[in-house]
Amino acid sequence: MVLGATGLGTPIWESESGDLLNWTYRGLASDISQECPNLFKLGDDWVMLTSPYTPVDYYIGDFDIDTYRYTHRVNGLIEPTKTFYGTNILFDADGRCLLFGRLLRTFEGAAWNGCMAIPRVLAIGQDGHPRQTPVEEIEMLRGERHSPPDTALDGTSKVLDVRGDALEIIVEIEPAGASFAGLRVRRSDDGADGVRIGYDGESVWVGGIEMPYPQAARQDSIKLRVFLDKSVIEVFVDDGARVATNFIDCGVNDLGVELVARGGEVAFRSIDIWEMESIR
């Protein structure tokens, strides 16, 4: 049995019983806030996820089965905002750790509030922090493929010959010293509107969401994998080293895709875009 309490740290205690009537106290398992908790073993590590009414926290460490005490070595955020929230974990027959979450949009009457994010495969990277990648089954929804040629831009932009509001986009970007390197999706025909996704030298932006990504943490190029589904964007950076989800509000005819370079030269390589089919 696991018991919780309110107050500073909202700790949890563990007790055990052979008859469910007489209980033996086993100790304080953790003093980490336990809203929507997941505690599970992943490889040689024990991972804890919590959703404390703020962005989902992760903790990676050890769980001592004798003392029932969880301690962590590293911690951070699964995503920079609480759009992705209320996680659950499953392990499939192939041993994959599958991460599920719902998407929150909290104002009254908000469209798409509570919809499910793309299921993710969760792993621990060589740096000891999580890697999140979309399940490979999502590729079953790929329709027509477009592969524009590699492109170099210097302080300009280029509208691609692809349109849609349900797309998967993969592109490698070499930002060099540009002030912004990336994409705009759901671009209006006159270019006045659109949602930008890209890198500014210190952070990755997904619409108005900022994910710090200092140069010391990345390679010379950045790989973006973007899933656009009408009013939802999910972006996986460098094979899941950074992930962000955002809701967007666009005109129904805003369907353009644009490569963008600001303040310097940017190389766009290995561009692939799929028109995504409905899951129904």
Cα(242)–Cα(238) distance, integer angstroms: 7
Half-sphere exposure of 279 (CA within 13 A, CB side): 6
Q: What tokens appear for 142 in the block? A: 């790929």
42 close to 123: Cβ distance less than 8 angstroms? yes
Q: What is the pLDDT of residue 66?
A: 82
Domain boundaries, the chain: 2-117, 143-276
Residue 170 sits at the vertex; the CA angle it makes with 243 and 85, to the nearest 5 degrees, is: 20
The reported pTM is 0.91
Closest Cα partner for 102 from 248, 250, 245?
Answer: 245
Q: What is the pLDDT of residue 225?
A: 99
Diameter over CA atoms, the chain = 73
Q: What is the pLDDT of residue 6?
A: 59
Closest Cα partner for 85 from 21, 35, 137?
Answer: 35
CATH superfamily of 2-117: Glycosyl hydrolase domain; family 43 (2.115.10.20)
Domain 143-276: which CATH number of 1.25.40.320, 3.40.50.1000, 1.10.760.10, 2.60.120.560: 2.60.120.560
Question: Across residues 97-104, what is the average pLDDT?
Answer: 97
Question: Across residues 86-104, what is the average pLDDT?
Answer: 97
Q: What is the pLDDT of residue 245?
A: 96
Q: Is 237's pLDDT higher than 60?
A: yes
Length of the chain: 280
pLDDT digits (tens, 9 = 90+) for 13-72: 566 778 888 877 777 778 887 889 999 999 999 999 999 989 999 999 999 988 888 999
Q: What sign has the CA pseudo-torsion 191, 113, 139, 217?
A: positive
Cα(19)–Cα(140) distance, integer angstroms: 49
Q: What is the pLDDT of residue 177?
A: 85
Cα(179)–Cα(44) distance, integer angstroms: 40
Half-sphere exposure of 159 (CA within 13 A, CB side): 13
pLDDT digits (tens, 9 = 90+) for 126-144: 999 999 999 999 999 999 9
Question: Across residues 144-170, what is the average pLDDT?
Answer: 98
- With cut-offs at 50, 70 and 90, classify the pLDDT of residue 7: low
Average confidence score pLDDT of the chain: 91
pLDDT digits (tens, 9 = 90+) for 266-279: 999 999 999 999 98
pLDDT digits (tens, 9 = 90+) for 187-222: 999 999 999 999 998 999 999 999 999 875 677 899
